[in-house]
Every structure is written in C-alpha cells, then in structure tokens.
Amino acid sequence: MKITDHIYFAVGSRVSTKKQDAGISIESQDKGVEGHILKSNPKAQILFNFAAAESGWKANRANIQKAYDELRRHNQSNPSKAVTCFVFLQADRYIRNLLNGASWIEKFQQIGVYINIVERWVDWDDTMSVSMFMLDLARAEEYSKKNSQNIKRCYTQRVEVGILPVPKLPRIYVREWITRTPKNYRILKGPAWEPFVKFKDYVLAGINMKAAWRRAGGKEALGSYDSAIQLIENPMAWGMYRGYPFDAPAPMTPEEGRKIARMRSAKQAKTAKSRKKQDAFMAPVCACPHCSSRLTLSVPNENTRRKPKKYLICGKFTPRHYRIDADKLNKDALELIQQLTLSGRASQRLGKKAEERSRILRANTEIEVKNLRAEAKKANEARQNIAWLLATGAVSVEDRDAVIARCDEISDRLADAEARLKNHGKILESVLQGLNNLGAIFREEPRRDMLTDFLLMAFPDGLIYDQKLGIFRTTTLNSALTVTTDLSSSCTKLKTRLPTIKASNRVMSG
C-alpha cells in the first residue's frame, strides 16, 4: 500500500520532556512529515495533528490512546472522509517499545488506520517491508536502552566525585563552584547545619517535633516548621540523592532518616485513629433497630482525595443496608445534649459521681507529681555530672545535649502536672456548678469522649436514631427518665415508646 493510496492523513510527533516541547523539535517533526506527504501525494489532506511530551517507553501512552479514540470517532461519524494513515517522522518518534508498538499497530488497523514512517515507508501488503519496520522498532528500543545505561553510568561517575547536577540544594548545604562552564562544584556544610543536627538529635531523643524545632533555633535557624519537616524527610539530608550515596557531608544516616519517618508515620496513624474515634462518638450509644447491637463507623471511600462520607453501620445485620449518615447524627446528638438540663435528684447523683471521679484523678495526679519529682532530681544530678564527664572525654557532645533535652522535658512535664494538681479544686467546683444547667456546659465545643461517657450514663440501654425525623428513641422507660426529671418537656429530640411483643422489634434489654 503506497502513500498515494491514502487521501486523509493524521500526523504524529513526540518529544521525551516538556523542556523539549518548548523548543522547535515538535515543529520540525511536523514540517518533515507534512512536507513528505504533500510532496509525494498532492491530493492528500491532513485532518489531525497529535503531539505529545512523554516517554516512548511508557506502556500506557496517553497521546496514542487519544489519537486512537479521536480517529475511531471520526471514521465512524464521517465514513466519506475516514483517515486511513497515521504518519510519524521516525520509528523512535512513534514508540520505543517493540511489543507495545506491534499491539498498537494491530489496534489501529482494526479501525482502518495504518501507522507509517517517513524514514522508511511501510507497504503493509509486503511481508519484507513489514519485517524491516519491526526491525526499526527493535533498533529504537535497543538505542533507548543503551542511552539510558550511558546516562546512568555518567551520573554514577559524577556522584562518585561529589558532583551532582541538582537544581536546588537544601539549606543545610552550600555550593562551592570550581568551574561554571561546564558546571562543576563541591557540596559543603551550610549555615543551617548545626541547628539541623540539634533538631535531628532532639527528635531521635523522643522530643515532640515542634518542640525540637523551637529548641534547635526555630524559624531563624531552620525556616518554617513545615520546611524543617520537609528537610528532615529529604534523602539528601541522609547522604543520598536519587538512590545514590554522594561524596558530601551528611548530618544523619539513612537508618536515622528511616527511623524518623517511621516515628512520623506512627504519630499520623495515631492522630487518624483519634479523629476516627471522635467521628464515631455516638457509635457506643446508638443501637441497630433490628438486632440491638451497637453501631460501628464505616468510611467507604476513605482513600479518595475528596472528603469521604462517613456512616454508622450495623456489622451483624444482613443484608447490611442499615446505615446512618454520621455527620447528620452527630449534629442532632449535639443539639440533643444542648437541650438537656438536669436538676434535683439527677444533679445530686451526677455531683456525687463527679466528686468520686475527682478524688481518683487527684490521687493519680499526686502520684504522677511524686514520680516526676524523683525523675527530675535524678535528671538534675545527671545534668550536673555531664559537664565533668564531657571534660574528661567520657561522653560526647551529643550525649550531653540528649541529657539536657531529657532534663528539660521532665521539667516541663512536672510543671504541667503541678499546675493540674493546683487547679484541681477549681475544676471540680466549676463542674458541680454547671450540673444545674448541663446545656450551658456543652454550648461550647466539648470533647467527644466526654459526650460518649455522659450519654452512656444517661441512656445505658442505648438510643435508636430515626433518620427521617431526626429524633432519638428508646424502647424502655429506663434510667434516662430517672436522670432527667422532666425529659419530655425539656428535650424535643428524644421520644419514648413502650416495647413491642415482637422480638425482632426489641431494641434494648429490660
């Protein structure tokens, strides 16, 4: 099949990087292809032009897929002007992968489009011509492999002598230029080197990231807190660049870097778990109307970029179609708590429980203060002895800094515990005063675990949430009516109904 057998053409071009796309490579390829087509076939018409900046090795070629979709739609909707030839300048401009190239050729031929090359025009009716084209694709693949190997070998040689073609260095490093053309430089310690080493040591000693950042110099020495976190997670701070160790000083080892990464990952997981617990603070209180079991939090699309929808579901009920919108439930529950007011006997009961809990908390705080004072005494003795040990050479500067950091941490914890012990009576007094009007206590944003404890105490048999009406129901006149003396008049969100005879409709025990 010659070039004159086609009338309607599509032109394809490709460069490997976006930087090349900004040059004249795409334009020169287009001109070369269009010039050859119009010179060889004056009747030819070029209807499509597809250009891309992507690797020829990619199996999932977005540009070729886009061309395939558009040409298929065009040929189906315009049979009289169907494109029958898709032309590239060279074989490596089409693809640099023999197997993928052959599969795309077959795919295009199924919609009546033949891929061809200006450098070696293919007659798809001639077996020899097709074999030579496949040989060109194999050569393009082999050339690409050798080119990649040469680049990696050259890069490894530059890394071994400490010359890195990095566009930007972290602030812990500075460049010392040897020659500007060609670019040749050494990497030396920067002004943020010492503060960063302190920051790293504090973090490895177990100090909170933000506290360690402040102690190491804060924004003046390390930049913003987010910048310091990015810096400590940067492999260049570990002495690595693109997987290669380079000949330059490193403030930390790869093992230390991976250890800090694991610490941050564990903390983030703990934070996510705590946030999930807050979202499901009504789960221990609400029950399934079918089987009376407590609900659990479910996030179907948790890994999506958008804000995932949260539900409370019953894990025992089959089929599992019973679920509640967690956000709506939490909103109605907060309104319920704000409307509840306690008085009379209920206030006395809760007051006694608050006093008992207060005594337990005070005793635990006193024990904590006693233990922290003993630790602080030992830490201060170690702090006094560390100077002498450092002078004799028995310990290093890093050991001294770790001891000082540990001493400061214990002092902070002791001050916090003593403050809690001092204010303990005031907290109890404010709680007892607020029990006469519980709605005033929860008018501000409360702790979710405190709300869970309160609702479990008020409704030990649990609640059922009516999604349509937005109200909570109980099946028995349980302790909810003993806690609130006049619950019906003070709360519009809570309704009570007598238990039914059917076991399937029972929700609470009793």
Residue 328 sits at the vertex; the CA angle it makes with 327 and 330, to the nearest 5 degrees, is 65
Whole-number average pLDDT of the chain: 74
So what's the pLDDT on residue 494?
45
More confident residue, 504 or 360: 360
In this predicted structure, the answer to whether residue 489 has a pLDDT above a threshold of 60 is no
So what's the pLDDT on residue 470?
73
Q: Name the band, by pLDDT with cuts 50, 70 and 90, for residue 429.
A: low
For 258-290, what is each residue's pLDDT tens digit? 888 888 888 777 766 666 666 677 777 777 777
Average pLDDT rounded to a whole number, residues 493-499: 40
| Sequence ranges of the domains in the chain | 3-153, 173-273, 296-339+445-505, 345-436
So what's the pLDDT on residue 354?
64
Find the helix or strand (DSSP H, E) in which 163 lies.
none
Average pLDDT rounded to a whole number, residues 45-67: 76
In this predicted structure, the answer to whether residue 300 has a pLDDT above a threshold of 50 is yes
Q: Name the band, by pLDDT with cuts 50, 70 and 90, for residue 166.
A: low
Residue with tokens 């084209």: 133
So what's the pLDDT on residue 478?
40
Beta bridge partners of 11: 49, 87
Average pLDDT rounded to a whole number, residues 29-48: 86
Q: Answer for the pair 89, 118: CB distance below 8 angstroms, yes or no.
A: yes
125 alpha-carbon distance from chain centroid: 54
Q: Name the band, by pLDDT with cuts 50, 70 and 90, for residue 338.
A: low
Q: What CA–CA distances, in Å, run from 6 to 122, 129, 132?
A: 13, 18, 21
For 150, other C-beta atoms within 10 Å of its C-beta total 10
The 3 state secondary structure assigned to 324-348 is: EEHHHHHHHHHHHHHHCCCCCHHHH
| Helical spans, DSSP H, in 304-441 | 326-339, 345-392, 397-422, 424-434, 438-441
In this predicted structure, the answer to whether residue 439 has a pLDDT above a threshold of 50 is no
Residue 45 tokens read as 């018409």
In this predicted structure, the answer to whether residue 422 has a pLDDT above a threshold of 70 is yes
Q: How far apart (Å, rounded) are the C-alpha atoms in residues 483 and 477?
A: 11
In this predicted structure, the answer to whether residue 341 has a pLDDT above a threshold of 50 is no
3-state helix, strand, coil in the chain (%, to 5): 55, 15, 30
Q: What does 116-149 look like in DSSP terms, one character per residue?
A: EESSS---TT-HHHHHHHHHHHHHHHHHHHHHHH
In this predicted structure, the answer to whether residue 500 has a pLDDT above a threshold of 60 is no
So what's the pLDDT on residue 491?
40
Strand 311-313 to strand 114-117: parallel, antiparallel, or no bridges (unpaired)?
A: unpaired
Q: Name the band, by pLDDT with cuts 50, 70 and 90, for residue 247.
A: low
For 106-152, what is each residue's pLDDT tens digit? 888 888 998 888 888 888 888 888 888 888 888 877 887 787 777 77
So what's the pLDDT on residue 283?
74
- Range name among 75-89, 220-234, 292-306, 373-387 with the lowest pLDDT average: 292-306
In this predicted structure, the answer to whether residue 241 has a pLDDT above a threshold of 80 is no
For 225, other C-beta atoms within 10 Å of its C-beta total 14
Q: Name the band, by pLDDT with cuts 50, 70 and 90, for residue 307.
A: low
Average pLDDT rounded to a whole number, residues 319-328: 70
Q: Percentage of residues in the chain with pLDDT exceeding 90?
A: 0
- Range name among 108-122, 245-259, 414-428, 432-446 with the lowest pLDDT average: 432-446
Look up the CATH number of domain 3-153: 3.40.50.1390
Q: Work out whether the CA dihedral 198, 199, 204, 208 comes out positive or negative.
A: positive
